[in-house]
Structure formats: structure tokens, C-alpha cells
Homo-oligomer: A and B are copies of this chain.
């Protein structure tokens, strides 16, 4: 990693050494907010940001994300987590606390088209995407120079469906070596095996170049052109074993008209793809997303 980015990250970590996030999911019932906010207050924490959602006031699921500051957080972290167990049990909570200064290790997978990868690298360099981009893995050599100019290791692993298992073995090894928390598929045009997907459950973020569920699968721009649509889109979602069917994180669209042929649509689309993927990745890194069934709550 280059020095410039390293410094940005250190500054961020220093500024956020006492900052953490609560993510909680449980059946709705009276008293949850009261119990959690009381818990935080009693432990000397101050709520900075809080966002909640109830699927249905009667018998629905309840979700909350709380960002809080707490003096000497590092020292208190174990205690906080231990003490919270009794609250969590009472309300039957599915919960976690994440610590903002522990930034996540990210891998980016890419094929021959680098625009989405580049957007991630740029946002990273400008300090807007706070992760440790630890490694880039590609089945093409295209992006090597660019990636290395950012001081990031680049691995070329040729891939196709006949050698999927061997390829994934190599990939998994790298992901372990770099202790990867989250994978961004920045237009990586290969299907992953169920075993791979399982290992990184709800931690693999894909960008699909259509407004899902329109144009699931291959060649969406070609099919959009054929259908004569007046807008094209892109969709970022967590990867599951059903192609392009995982929980949607973010979507966006742009206008096209009869003058736009497939080439022109691809150009317009690239710009949507890169911003949609970048937003989805940043929300994941900021622990803003809770997956529930096949949907996302994005706080």
C-alpha cells in the first residue's frame, strides 16, 4: 500500500478509536430501544446515530443500527460484549458489535473490464472508501499495471468453467493469506461454486449490469437494446447460489434513447455500474446493511 493511503487510514483509525456500531435483529416487542439505550448509557457510551425499522408493529421483525462513542472502548470492548448477553437473551436478539477502527480487509475480483475496479481504487485513494484493499485477483492481465501503481498485490489466475475448482482453490488460499473479510466482484465474469459462496456468505458483493430482475444472466445490454428499453440500469447484490437472485443492495438507472446502440448503452452503463457498486461496497464497509431473507435493510 502506498504511504499516502496508509496515512489516510491511520488518521481515520485514530479518529475512530472509540467508535463502534451495534447491529441488532429480533422479534419486535415493547422495550427494546429502552433496554439497549439504557445498556449503552450505563456503560458510558453516547449514541451518535441510530436508525431502526419494524417490519410490522404487530409481530414483525425489528432491526436497529446504533453508532456510539465510548471512552476507552478498546479496554471496555470485552466487558461490553459480555454484559450485553443478558439483554440479547431477553429479547432473543441476533446481534453484533463492530469496531470502526478495525477496518475490513477487502479483495477485488475483476475480469477484463477495469472500470468498476478503478472506481473502487479511486474512492479508496481519496479516502472515501475506508477498507484495506489487500489484493486484486483477475483472470486477465489487463489491470495489472494499474493495480500495482496503487501499491496493491495483483494475482493473475486464468479461469473458466472447466477448471473452476482448481481456480477457487488458489483464490481461497490467497483470501486466507490476506485474511479477507469482504470480496467485491467488480465485473468478474465467472460463476462461483456453492462452497465458495458459502464460505463468504453475505460477504461477496456483485455488480450486475442490468436493472434486476430484468435481464438476468448474460448479455444484458444486448437484450436491453433488443427490447427497446428507454432506461438501462445496474444492480449490486450479495452473491447467492441462484444467479443474479441474491439480496439487492443498490440499483440505479440512466436514460437511453433510440440513438443508443449496444456500444453506447455499454458506455452509459459503465458509469452506472461503477457508482452503484461503490455505494454498495461502502455501505457494507460501514456496517449499514442487514440481510433478512432475500432482502436487505440498508440503514
A248 in complex: contacting residue of B34, B46, B47, B228, CB < 8 Å: B228
Chain B hits for A161, CB < 8 A: none
Taking the complex as formed, is A77 at the interface, i.e. its CB lies under 8 A from any CB of chain B?
Answer: no
A46–B38 touching, CB < 8 Å: no
Interface string of A231-247 (1 = CB under 8 A from B): 10100000000000001
- Interface residues in A34-62 by Cβ distance below 8 A to B read 34, 37-38, 40-41, 44-54, 57
A270 to B278, CA, bound (A): 15
A: number of interface residues (CB 8 Å): 60
B41 touches A258 (CB 8 A): no
Given A52-B50, A53-B258, A258-B53; A213-B231 close (CB under 8 Å): no
Question: Does A176 sit at the interface, judged by CB under 8 A?
Answer: no
Partner of A34, one of B30, B41, B52: B41
A-B contact pairs, 28 of them (CB 8 A): A30-B46, A30-B47, A33-B47, A33-B50, A34-B38, A37-B37, A48-B54, A48-B57, A50-B50, A53-B258, A53-B259, A115-B126, A122-B122, A126-B270, A211-B214, A211-B231, A211-B253, A212-B229, A213-B214, A228-B247, A228-B296, A230-B251, A231-B233, A231-B251, A231-B253, A253-B253, A258-B295, A258-B298
